Amino acid sequence: MADKPAAAAAAAPAGPTSIEMTEDGIAIITMNDLSERMNVLNKGMMEAFEGVLNKLESDSSIRAAVLMSGKDDSWVAGADIRMLDACKSAEELATLARTGQKMMDRLAGLKKPVVAAINGFCLGGGAELAMACHYRIVSTGSKTKIGLPEVQLGLLPGSGGTQRLPKLVGIQNAVTMMTTGQQLDAKRAKRNGFADSVADPFALRDAALQAARGLADGSLKRKPKAQPLVPTRLLEGTSIGRNVLFDQAGKMIAKKAGTAYPAPMEILNAVRAGVEGGHAKGQEVEAAAFGKLGMTSVSAALRSIYFAQTAAKKNPFPKPAEPASTVAVLGAGLMGAGIAEVTAHKAAATVLLRDKTLEGLSRGEKQISGNMDKKVSRRRMTKAAADAVTSRVLGFCDGVPGWDRQLPRADVVVEAVFEDLGLKHSVIKELEATGLRPDAILASNTSALPIADLAKASKHPERVIGMHYFSPVDKMPLLEVIPHAGTSDAVVGRAFDLGLKQGKTVIVVKDVPGFYVNRCLGPFMAEAFALMQEGVEAERLDKVMRDFGFPVGPVTLADEVGIDVASHVNSFLTEHLGERMGGSDATVLRDMMDRGMMGRKSGKGFFVYGKGKGKGAKTVNPDAKALLAKYLKKGASVEAAAAMDDATIQDRMAGRFLIEALLCLQDGIIRSPTDGDVGAIFGIGFPPFRGGPFRHIDAVGADNLRNQLRGFAAKYGPQFNPPRILNEYADAKKRFHPSE
């Protein structure tokens, strides 16, 4: 049947929604908020949707409706977070949630079927809107993502999501999705029950219209959910099983989230309330929890980081006319292969990957293909998509022809060779001699060497820049872009743009030793060694800092990066930062190296690591413990250190990090407190619920922190001296984020 709109379309509501009618009574509702890049549930959209519901209820000529988006990349990307920030109390937030719940209930209660034709981001409030529809068709387009990620903002779904999702996908799947922020593509959405069917993006409209007609005339019936496996039926289908399920889920959430992140437990409570007490009771608990969570400092911090990360994805420098289509990567080691992977995968660019030897090149290519295979096996990527990624990586090594013909194609060259200034100089000279294009930029993945020193080897120093990725590159979200004094703004813009295309959160930092993240990490690690030399045991130090909110304890971190690397970084930063790296005797690291204690890679460092399937297990290395005993400070002992309270350990460790972050802001190494927060969270895992170092200082109070640091300086040394900028903010009673 023809889908030609009828004349009645002229009566459609104005604003971010429009309605067109087919001749057989199907209303095609299009959401397209021209004031936003993506559709979001803001005040205007919700008011317009109330008008849509009025029309659907009152217009007898409408038999069914299709709800679709007028934007290519978003159906509805979620609720407008700015509405939350405008609320001043838990009750205001709960009222906002109840408003959303009523709208979704009204949609779900329509006597006329509504088909959600989903293409692009369908997240948060968007997913709740889709669940309130009577049938869901999901596009197989690559931009389609479905999920309820409110937990990442310290919240829970507040418009009925905790009640509708378990009915669609089952209790266990729903709790997992909501407590982790997991996102689904079309096939996974169909498999777990969220989607009724899937369609190619170009066929989505026709498929939705066909479904709407079938639902209206009764020829299409929603297929009953597939029967789950027996263990799932026993857990979810019986009261005893559900008690076991909720109790075990609660224990797992308590272990993983602890007390720092209250949202996962509130999600579980809301789901349980609905399962045991019905939809209305569940929504009552959901709305109250939404209000309570929204007023916590945790949610405020996570929301501010969301806005900061969003800002970091906007290029403030001249944007290139076209994105980089070909990127050369020199060095196929762990970092080089990682850079090649995100370039071929996320940026969809051709990669010219070169290593000195065929063995090194093969190892890098194997790393990339292995990561793609994992995505396929976990159903996060199709085999065809994975093959497309690996086919974009062209390998070269010494003795293999073609490099000199291919290099001139490169818009960007990233060198990721060994951290040796002489070697990097020779690489730069060779590249320019081989035929690097005059307009191509030359980026270094160095983690420490001054970019200005690297640029001295180039005939065109203005096109040399640092691009510091973090390991593992395919998982760590941060990229530090480091221009030297002579780097042109156009080159900075090109590097920034490439980082965004690679899926990175980008900050621009000054060309100084350690840049920003490693510069903050150095004194932090020095304090860890100082505490161990005062008798604090490695296991306790790790646990105390995990309790503070870091994902990995500092002792384990030293083992993970390698004792040799930790020693090199300590020496390098001590040379440049002086007493700011003080407080410990780093000779212990060299002694560990001499004894073969290189960290996880050698099987032993501060800890001993198992092999085989249990390789993640670790125990304290008795040899390292005995060696540390020789480095105990005068009068220190393990017994005396046991009396030191956890808060003192946390304050000392955090204090060293905060001091260096403050000095980076004071010296213009970072451009803003926001960049400092983003860099610390996404580069090293500073606790997100604390909002980053500068939001944490605001929460503690500049004057309180200054007094604490003065006390530590008097007791432990000048490495704790408060920076000038902290004194200025404390005296003026200023905040680093005054509007929050």
- Given the candidates 1.10.1040.50, 3.30.465.10, 1.10.3080.10, 3.90.1170.40, the CATH classification of the domain at 517-561+569-584+640-732 is 1.10.1040.50
pTM: 0.90
Please write down the HEC assignment for all residues of 49-87: HHHHHHHHHHCCCCCEEEEEECCCCEEECCECHHHHHCC
Domain extent listing, the chain:
7-294, 326-508, 517-561+569-584+640-732
Q: At which residue do the structure tokens 């194609």 appear?
A: 409
Q: Average the pLDDT over 569-577 and give the result.
A: 94
Identify the H or E element spanning 122.
Answer: strand 121-123
pLDDT band, very low/low/confident/very high, at 528 (cuts 50, 70, 90): very high
* CATH number for the domain formed by residue range(s) 7-294: 3.90.226.10
Which residues are catalytically annotated? 480
For the chain, how are helix, strand and coil distributed in percent, rounded to 5? 55, 15, 30
The reported pLDDT for the residue numbered 9 is 44
Mean pLDDT of 349-374: 97
Q: Which residues contact 186 (CB under 8 A, 6 or more apart)?
A: 138, 139, 140, 141, 144, 195, 198
Confidence (pLDDT) at 400: 84
CATH code assigned to 326-508: 3.40.50.720
Residue type, 502: Q
pLDDT at 740: 65
Tokens found for residue 170:
């089952």
Name the region of 222 (left: φ>0; alpha: ψ -120 to 50; beta: rest): beta
Would you say residue 335 has pLDDT above 90? Answer: yes
* C-beta separation of 306 from 153 below 8 A: yes
Write out pLDDT tens, residues 40-62. Answer: 999 999 999 999 999 999 999 99
Q: What is the pLDDT of residue 603?
A: 94
Whether 12 has a pLDDT exceeding 60, the answer reads no
pLDDT band at 7 (very low <50, low <70, confident <90, very high): very low
The Cα 555–Cα 538 span in angstroms is 6
- pLDDT score of 2: 46
The pLDDT of 101-128, averaged and rounded, is 98
What percentage of the chain carries pLDDT values higher than 70? 96
Q: Is the pLDDT of residue 196 over 80?
A: yes
Quick: pLDDT tens for 142-174.
Answer: 899 999 999 999 999 999 999 999 999 999 999
Determine the pLDDT at residue 232: 77
Residue 241: per-residue pLDDT = 87
Average pLDDT over residues 124-133: 98
Instruction: Point out the least confidently predicted range of 231-235, 350-354, 543-547, 668-672.
Output: 231-235
Half-sphere exposure of 376 (CA within 13 A, CB side): 15
Q: What is the pLDDT of residues 684-713, one digit of tens each?
A: 999 999 999 999 999 999 999 999 999 999
Mean residue pLDDT of the chain comes to 94
Q: How far is it, in rounded angstroms, from Cα 527 to Cα 653? A: 6
- What mean pLDDT comes out for the span 562-587? 94
The confidence band for 734, taking pLDDT boundaries of 50, 70 and 90, is very high
pLDDT digits (tens, 9 = 90+) for 234-261: 778 888 988 999 999 999 999 888 889 9
Query: Which residue is listed with tokens 């490695």?
Result: 538
Q: How confident is the model at residue 438 (pLDDT cuts 50, 70, 90)?
A: confident
| C-beta of residue 721 within 8 angstroms of C-beta of residue 709 | yes
At 709, list the tokens: 């640091």
